[in-house]
Amino acid sequence: MAKTSIDKAVLKKGILAGDRASLSRAITLCESHLSIDQELSLMLLEELHSHSGNSLRIGVSGIPGAGKSTFIEALGMELIGKHQKKIAVLTIDPSSESSGGSILGDKTRMNDLSRSPNAFIRPTATNTQLGGVGQHTQAAILLCEAAGFDTIIIETVGVGQSELNVNKMVDVFLLLHIVGAGDDLQGMKRGILECADLVVINKADEGQEQKAALEASNLKKALHLFPQKHLGWSTKVFTCSSIEKRGISAIWNSIQAHQEQLKSTQQFDLQRKHQTQAWFADLQRRSIVDFVLLQPEIQELINRAKAQMESEEISFISLLRNTKIALSELFSPPKKDKEITKK
Ligand SMILES: Nc1nc2c(ncn2[C@@H]2O[C@H](COP(=O)(O)OP(=O)(O)OP(=O)(O)O)[C@@H](O)[C@H]2O)c(=O)[nH]1
Ligand SMILES: [Mg+2]
């Protein structure tokens, strides 16, 4: 194994002591494309695994500008102030390829949280190449838990695949909607609504309460027709003003009621089990693809096809077929002499 400058034991000790710099470094390590880093990050995750799992994982999604960061700031500060919670906020921005993305914007929206010693805010990189939006987020969740954060909030923009992926890694999923944006489900994709445990109509500021209440009531009626995501839990609708910090406690109470319902019916553990299985399958697929792509025969196959494509001597459909045939020949064991003579 090649050498690395990262000392796993030091990193592990730092994380368990709640040191943010160590936590940040470990998340960066998990996001690395280098196989040496990937190996190290898996070893680290394995060692920290028994220290993880004890948090409440909350997903927050909604269209750009719905007020997700402002809402998380309000909820997070309330949880720190009134309930002595330690909050980690992981943001996923599928539009930014690498880490860094919108962190400045997010931090300015989460001013108090970013200064609080009981909060940690971090964007996680997306791996759009393999459709892995949020693939690293699951590792980041485990690391934050090992570092002692008991509430993990994941913010993702509600466009495309990302919010559906986030739904696969949280205990409770909140969808933020804006007052005045329409009560007829327009602008909300049905698939996302079906994932929501709570729908929150944000920006219900002073003077907007009646309008918001009417929209909430219409939304409740419409949601009634949806199938239940969890046994015994129908999607709840709330109104709030994140800026005026109103309506936040009722949402927190509902999140807790949701958790109690899931735990009392064994759905909590089952959901987590399914999520771990799906994550494992994702990681396994990634390792297999990485390994296969590095094999010299495969490299040769790719280069040959590339050259043929460039020379335009064969259509790309035929080229794809040839690649499939070449792959199955590569991976099927040669038939024994006896078998061949039998035929
Ligand atoms: N009036 C009002 N404005 C709000 C409220 N919540 C958020 N905003 C404003 O809405 C704008 C967007 O808020 P953000 O919290 O950045 O929204 P976001 O959903 O995180 O945005 P992206 O991360 O860019 O998708 C900002 O100007 C906020 O100040 C609210 O409750 N009332
Ligand atoms: Mg935001």
Which tops the pLDDT comparison, 330 or 182? 330
Residue 22 has pLDDT above 90, yes or no: yes
Residue 204 has pLDDT above 80, yes or no: yes
| Predicted local confidence at residue 303, as pLDDT | 92
C-alpha 106 to ligand 2 mean position (Å)? 5
State which residues form the domain around 307: 295-342
**Does residue 42 fall inside a structural domain?**
no
* Confidence at 126, pLDDT banded by 50, 70, 90: low
CA distance 289 to 339: 32
Same domain, yes or no: 327 and 212 = no
Lay out the sheet containing 151-157: strands in order across.
Answer: 119-124, 87-92, 151-157, 56-62, 172-178, 198-202, 236-239
Q: What atom in ligand 1 is closest to the CA of residue 240?
A: 31
Q: How many domains does the chain have?
A: 2
Question: Which among 218, 249, 266 is the end of a domain?
Answer: 266
Same domain, yes or no: 195 and 64 = yes
Could you give the residue ranges of the DSSP H alpha helices within the chain? 8-16, 20-31, 35-48, 68-83, 103-109, 111-115, 137-146, 162-167, 190-195, 209-223, 248-264, 267-294, 296-311, 316-331, 337-342
**Minimum mean pLDDT among 64-73, 103-112, 217-226: which range?**
103-112
Q: Whose CA is nearest to atom 17 of ligand 1?
A: 67
| Predicted local confidence at residue 129, as pLDDT | 46
Query: In Å, how far from its chain's centre is CA 309?
Result: 37
Question: Which among 249, 266, 283 is the end of a domain?
Answer: 266
pLDDT (mean) for 163-183: 84
- For residue range 60-103, list pLDDT tens digits in order: 998 888 999 999 999 999 999 999 999 999 998 765 544 444 44
Ligand nearest to the CA of 89: 2
Same domain, yes or no: 254 and 326 = no
143, amino acid identity? L
Q: What atom in ligand 1 is closest to the CA of residue 205?
A: 32
Same domain, yes or no: 259 and 303 = no
Same domain, yes or no: 192 and 305 = no
Same domain, yes or no: 82 and 194 = yes
66 Cβ below 6 A of ligand 1: yes
**Does residue 242 fall inside a structural domain?**
yes
Same domain, yes or no: 84 and 196 = yes
Same domain, yes or no: 259 and 165 = yes
CA distance 290 to 103: 29
Which tops the pLDDT comparison, 89 or 33? 89
Ligand nearest to the CA of 67: 1
C-alpha 69 to ligand 2 mean position (Å)? 4
pLDDT (mean) for 203-225: 90
180 Cβ below 6 A of ligand 1: no
User: Across the strands, what pairs with 201?
Assistant: 177, 239
DSSP one-letter code for 183: S
Same domain, yes or no: 262 and 308 = no
Mean pLDDT in the chain?
86
CA distance 160 to 188: 12
Q: What is the pTM of this model?
A: 0.87
| Predicted local confidence at residue 182, as pLDDT | 60
- Decide: 295 and 92 in contact? Cβ < 8 Å: no
**Minimum mean pLDDT among 158-167, 260-269, 270-279: which range?**
158-167
Same domain, yes or no: 128 and 67 = yes
**Minimum mean pLDDT among 3-7, 70-74, 78-82, 219-223: which range?**
3-7
**Does residue 46 fall inside a structural domain?**
no
- For residue range 313-323, list pLDDT tens digits in order: 888 899 999 99
**Does residue 20 fall inside a structural domain?**
no
**Does residue 15 fall inside a structural domain?**
no
Residue 281 has pLDDT above 80, yes or no: yes
SS (H, E, C) 87-148: EEEEEECCCCCCCCCCHHHHHHHCHHHHHCCCEEEEEECCEHHHCECCCCHHHHHHHHHHCC
* Confidence at 337, pLDDT banded by 50, 70, 90: low
CATH number of domain containing 252: 3.40.50.300
205 Cβ below 6 A of ligand 1: yes
Query: In Å, how far from its chain's centre is CA 195?
Result: 14
Pairing of strands 87-92, 198-202: unpaired
Question: Which among 266, 283, 313 is the end of a domain?
Answer: 266
Phi then psi for 238, rounded to 5 degrees?
-130, 160
Ligand nearest to the CA of 70: 1
C-alpha 64 to ligand 1 mean position (Å)? 8
**Does residue 70 fall inside a structural domain?**
yes
The label of the residue with tokens 């791996």 reads 127
The label of the residue with tokens 């060692």 reads 47
Ligand nearest to the CA of 65: 1
159 Cβ below 6 A of ligand 1: no
Same domain, yes or no: 216 and 329 = no
Q: What atom in ligand 1 is closest to the CA of residue 73?
A: 15
**Does residue 60 fall inside a structural domain?**
yes
- Decide: 111 and 72 in contact? Cβ < 8 Å: no
**Does residue 114 fall inside a structural domain?**
yes
Same domain, yes or no: 63 and 175 = yes
7, amino acid identity? D
| Predicted local confidence at residue 282, as pLDDT | 86
C-alpha 266 to ligand 1 mean position (Å)? 36
Tell me the percentage of the chain whose pLDDT exceeds 90. 55
